[in-house]
């Protein structure tokens, strides 16, 4: 059935001459910022963004059995729209026309919500091909009005590589990095006219996507509470995972460090009792014995010994009386 559909698509659309520079296939999703600041910076800027999108797509072989493309346009939180999905068009001509027909919405910058839309409505089990890498390309001219870190992480966890392109002087590189998760996938252009050069670089960069490490997980519990122990943390080769001819992650998937190097508290302990002292009187005297809190001494905040240092008892020195009677 899949081959039949492919033949029908070729028959309907013909063999288009493609300037594809990449021999790999992808599920590409473009997330396009349509906020009001874009046109405020120049009347033709939104058109140049659409030209950028088409230029990137031009570098890939689009077909039913090759690269699939989808697009999302967004501005305010009430305007986040899927323009077309991964299974809608299978030729450059159809896709380019659909992009040309995108209307400029104006409004806010709900980038996080747009990324959520990609995860929930574009990369669906019905359209997301398991054997083809996912690449999401987001282009924006400013800082988002909502959270982007959470939606970006959720999308990257699924194995999607995110390229973040900031254009204009108001783009926020820190936020771009939050979305991409890796400096390799962050691009900036000072002017909208420069986007054409970014597109040329990205065609090759997408084609050469290697696997990448996830963020480090939190450190696990230290093996000891004091005195110097060790703890580990790990990461996974899932950002994105190795696919096709991409290179596997370089480096270790775990690292360790020393922890809780502070000295352990030492509680004090009593020494052995001393011998009883001599009785103080020949009749009705007392004698004592003592011990010291030195086995060991309290240290580093340890507890002092519990109990008394000395004990006393009544005594009668009968031997002294006997000696006196003899004299």
Reading the chain (327 residues) residue by residue, the pLDDT tens digits are: 433 333 334 333 433 445 667 888 899 999 999 999 998 888 999 999 999 999 999 999 999 999 999 999 999 878 999 999 999 999 999 999 999 999 999 899 999 999 999 999 999 988 888 878 899 999 999 899 999 999 999 999 888 999 999 998 888 899 999 999 988 899 999 899 999 888 888 887 888 766 677 888 999 999 999 999 999 999 988 766 665 445 567 788 999 999 999 999 999 999 999 999 999 888 888 999 999 999 999 998 889 999 899 999 999 876 544 433 333
Q: In the prediction, which pLDDT does 243 show? A: 55
Domain spanning 265-327: which superfamily?
A: Thrombospondin type-1 (TSP1) repeat (2.20.100.10)
CATH 3.40.50.410 fits 18-207, yes or no: yes
**Alpha-carbon span 321 to 316, nearest angstrom:** 9
Q: In the prediction, which pLDDT does 31 show? A: 96
Q: In the prediction, which pLDDT does 282 show? A: 83
Per-residue tokens: 119: 């995860």
Q: In the prediction, which pLDDT does 322 show? A: 41
Q: In the prediction, which pLDDT does 102 show? A: 94
Neighbour-count burial for 238-262, b at 16+ CB within 10 Å, e otherwise: bbbbebeebeebeeeeeeeeebbee
Q: Are 138 and 103 in contact (CB under 8 A)?
A: no
| Topology alike, domains 211-264 and 265-327 | yes
Q: In the prediction, which pLDDT does 246 show? A: 56
Q: How many CB atoms lie within 10 A of CB 157?
A: 14
Neighbour-count burial for 170-197, b at 16+ CB within 10 Å, e otherwise: ebeeebbbbbbbbeebbbebeebebbee
The SS3 of residue 315 is strand
Q: In the prediction, which pLDDT does 209 show? A: 67
Q: Is the pTM of this model over 0.75?
A: no
Residue ranges per structural domain of the chain = 18-207, 211-264, 265-327
Domain spanning 211-264: which superfamily?
A: Thrombospondin type-1 (TSP1) repeat (2.20.100.10)
**Alpha-carbon span 235 to 252, nearest angstrom:** 9
Per-residue tokens: 2: 């899949």
CA dihedral 216, 222, 223, 229 (to 10 degrees): 100
Q: In the prediction, which pLDDT does 41 show? A: 87
Per-residue tokens: 103: 């209307």
**Alpha-carbon span 78 to 71, nearest angstrom:** 17
């Amino acid at each position: 059935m899949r081959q039949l559909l492919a033949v029908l698509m070729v028959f309907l659309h013909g063999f288009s001459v493609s300037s594809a520079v990449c021999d790999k296939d992808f599920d590409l999703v473009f997330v396009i910022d349509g906020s009001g600041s874009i046109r405020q910076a120049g009347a033709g800027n939104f058109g140049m963004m659409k030209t950028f999108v088409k230029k990137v797509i031009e570098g890939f072989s689009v077909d039913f059995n090759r690269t699939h493309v989808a697009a999302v346009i967004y501005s305010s939180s009430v305007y986040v729209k899927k323009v077309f999905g991964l299974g809608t068009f299978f030729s450059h001509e159809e896709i380019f026309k659909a992009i040309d027909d995108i209307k400029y919405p104006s409004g806010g910058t709900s980038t996080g919500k747009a990324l959520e839309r990609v995860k929930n409505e574009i990369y669906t089990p019905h359209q997301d091909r398991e054997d083809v890498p996912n690449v999401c390309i987001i282009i924006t001219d400013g800082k988002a009005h909502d959270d982007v870190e959470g939606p970006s992480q959720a999308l990257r966890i699924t194995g999607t590589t995110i390229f973040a392109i900031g254009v204009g002087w108001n783009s926020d590189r820190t936020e771009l990095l939050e979305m991409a998760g890796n400096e390799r996938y962050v691009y900036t252009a000072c002017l909208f006219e420069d986007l054409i050069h970014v597109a040329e670089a990205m065609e090759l960069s997408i084609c050469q996507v290697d696997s990448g490490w996830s963020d480090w997980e939190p450190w696990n519990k230290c093996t000891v509470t004091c005195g110097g122990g060790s703890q580990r943390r790990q990461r996974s080769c899932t950002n994105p995972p190795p696919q096709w001819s991409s290179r596997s992650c370089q480096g270790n998937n775990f690292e360790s460090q020393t922890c809780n190097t502070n000295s352990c508290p030492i509680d004090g302990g009593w020494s052995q009792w001393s011998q009883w002292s001599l009785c103080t009187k020949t009749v009705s005297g007392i004698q004592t014995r003592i011990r010291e809190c030195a086995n060991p001494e309290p240290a580093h905040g340890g507890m002092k010994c519990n109990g008394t240092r000395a004990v006393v008892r009544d005594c009668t020195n009968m031997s002294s009386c006997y000696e006196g009677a003899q004299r």
